[in-house]
Structure 1
Amino acid sequence: MNMSRRKFCGVGLLAVISPLGFPAFANPSARVRVGVLKFGTVNWELDTIKHHRFDAANGVDVEVVYFAGEDASNVAMLAGDLHVIVSDWLWVSRQRSEGEDLTLAPYSTAVGAIMVRQDAPIHDIPDLVGKKIGVAGGPLDKSWLLIQGLAQRDHKIDLAKEGEIVFGAPPLLSEKALSGELDAVLNFWHFCARLEANGFRRLIGAHEAAEALGASGPVSALGYVFREKWANENPDVAMGFIKASAAAKKLLADSDTEWQRLAPIVRADGRELEVLRDRYREGIPNRPLADEERDAAKLYAILADLGGERLVGKASQMAPGTFWAALKT
């Protein structure tokens, strides 16, 4: 069942405005159990899907299942308790290399960035030497590895050794940055957006590092992950979920009013809500899947070299089928 991303977005929107009404869900196979973190940004899109019944309009029933941590949702996915989770293509590729049949559909190209105060005397990577840098996600975080790779290639700087690196949870690192305990912080995209709304600026983003290292455009950092066997056996359900996602993204891209409705879930208002809205919109994937897949394979090779077996396992190349083939043109 081959369908281009452009085509499925169009079909999804046609389904939303169809006057035929919403289908009933007598068939439990139309249910899609999606596992997410309780306060993760994916909830913004899923709430939009449920509030506007984009799932029903596309023949599926999205059931949101909350988890306290990413590891728990990953385990539930592998155990067969969920149909869909959100994760990155490195994890999917590693699982495929180890025998799992996971695949993904792009969810967001939004990635983290190194943030500094507006008035900080830090304007380029060399200015980070000797500085105290907070890093979310740990030493094997993709964004951190890519920025380190760029620093090494272009400036012959080993940031891990020439900076004072502090690893920690994203909220804590943001607090330390705001209090002045850190000179710079590399955080996840939504924490960066909140910092931006509170007097910080982007020094360099992971997407800039990725493109400098060979990517031809934005690559989805995260995707909706599901089993290929499930998608092949239930193509209308799998594609219905993707169409519902596309409809929600279209509304979130076009409607400022929808963001006001979501404000309590986003837990932001005013300038902070506006920045989060704008950064979310910038992260909506809009490239052909084949282009993203090709660039991801390039980045995989770089990350495999930087992070080694601890990051990617024993596979030196991204596993074929990591990106869902049904979405290719």
Structure 2
Amino acid sequence: MMISRRGALRLAALGTAAVLTAAGAARAAAKVRIGVLKFGTVSWELDTVKHHKLDAANGIDLEVVYFAGEDATNVAMLAGEIDIIVSDWLWVSRQRSEGDDVTLAPYSTAVGAIMVRQESPIRTIADLKQKKIGVAGGPLDKSWLLIQALARRDHGVDLTTANEIVFGAPPLLSEKAMQGELDAVLNFWHFCARLEANDFRRLVGAEDAAKALGASAAVSALGYVFHEKWANDNPDAAKGFVKASAQAKDLLARSDAEWQRLAPIVRAEGAELEKLRDCYREGIPARTIAEEEADAGKLYRVLAEIGGEKLVGSAPEMAPGTYWPELSK
């Protein structure tokens, strides 16, 4: 069959349009690689992003890469093998002070707490003296340091010398607390939520300590961390990811059905699932970057005083740019 010159031109134009459309789609779906722990709480939000195609809706193709430990994700991001990880503002500040260009977009204000059994006679921090306390995260964990600072200031108690401190993995410490082998346990927020659903109560949270020590509201303890150069070179991808994250948070904040869908990933049901849902929702950041930075700066000085160079290095103040400057524009 012969094709007229006009028909040939029309086919050529359609072909060109198809190529341009494909190229535009390729640009729209920029690959973004995020490294997370296999069974971490961040997976709940990322699964929501992928399940509802919020990444595609914001012009990115999100690839979730799983790692066995936090150190491995840090190394991979610093080496450029992945684009984004989840870490805390203190780590970001230290990296920036040492010459790296990492920066942070707030992810969650949820933090740990010291938990005791409902029937425990321990009612205040002062009651912790001469008790056996489990601490997750190690001796330089931010929550542990903030609670130590509060105990010293308001109760004259040095928790590190007045008690038997047991450091360990979060699930192991929760198990020991439930078995009655610990008088109290400081654990990460999601382990605290599970304990709270199983006849435990909060004695004091790191958020309470932070506010008592000068923060005006809950500070985003964790954030999505990436190289500032990567974000500057890929602004649509970086902003697209932040938007997809915000949309996932909005869905998780208002939809109980979404939490039922996530139940197998969360590995909880009933009252425990509801407690985890409620604590996640309470941890959704709701403040401006300026407010976050101001309070983080105050807490940095408290942490630097008690944690010293082992925690913050030689920088006396939080590094400028710790929070991604683009978010304040």
Report the TM-score, using the length of structure 1 for normalisation: 0.92
3-state SS of the aligned residue for 1:110?
Answer: coil
Q: What is the CA deviation profile of residues 296-316 of structure 1, one whole-angstrom value per residue up to 9, with x for unaligned ones?
A: 011001101110000011111
1:115–1:201: 8 Å Cα contact kept in structure 2?
Answer: yes
Q: What is the CA deviation profile of residues 256-315 of structure 1, one whole-angstrom value per residue up to 9, with x for unaligned ones?
A: 000000000000000000000000000000011100111001100110111000001111
How do 1:167-182 and structure 2 match up within 5 A?
A: 167-182=167-182
Aligned position for 1:107: 107
Aligned position for 1:116: 116
Q: Distance in 2 between matches of 1:265 and 1:321?
A: 34
Give the CA deviation at 1:26.
2.2
1:184 aligns with 2:184: yes
2:55–2:240: 8 Å Cα contact kept in structure 1?
Answer: yes
Aligned position for 1:86: 86
Higher relative contact order (CA 8 A, sep 6+): 1
Aligned position for 1:324: 324
Q: What is the CA deviation profile of residues 119-142 of structure 1, one whole-angstrom value per residue up to 9, with x for unaligned ones?
A: 000110010001100000000000
Q: Structure 1 pair 257/29, CA: closer, same or farther in 2 (3 Å)?
A: closer
1:110–1:280: 8 Å Cα contact kept in structure 2?
Answer: yes
Q: Distance in 1 between matches of 2:156 and 2:267?
A: 41
Q: Distance in 2 between matches of 1:24 and 1:172?
A: 50
Q: Distance in 2 between matches of 1:256 and 1:31?
A: 30
1:300 aligns with 2:300: yes
How do 1:1-329 and structure 2 match up within 5 A?
A: 25-27=25-27, 30-329=30-329
Letter in 1 for 2:268: A
Q: What is the CA deviation profile of residues 56-75 of structure 1, one whole-angstrom value per residue up to 9, with x for unaligned ones?
A: 00101110000000000000
Report the TM-score, using the length of structure 2 for normalisation: 0.92
Aligned position for 1:9: none
- How many residues are aligned here? 307
1:105–1:225: 8 Å Cα contact kept in structure 2?
Answer: yes
1:25–1:60: 8 Å Cα contact kept in structure 2?
Answer: no
Q: Distance in 2 between matches of 1:29 and 1:96?
A: 30
Give the CA deviation at 1:212.
0.1
Larger radius of gyration: 2
Letter in 2 for 1:67: F
Aligned position for 1:19: none
Q: What is the CA deviation profile of residues 27-67 of structure 1, one whole-angstrom value per residue up to 9, with x for unaligned ones?
A: 49711100000000000000000000000001011100000
1:193–1:272: 8 Å Cα contact kept in structure 2?
Answer: yes
Q: Distance in 2 between matches of 1:125 and 1:60?
A: 47
Structure 2 unmatched ranges of 5 or more:
1-22
1:36–1:67: 8 Å Cα contact kept in structure 2?
Answer: yes
Give identity over the alignment, percent.
Answer: 75
1:300–1:317: 8 Å Cα contact kept in structure 2?
Answer: yes
3-state SS of the aligned residue for 2:26?
Answer: coil
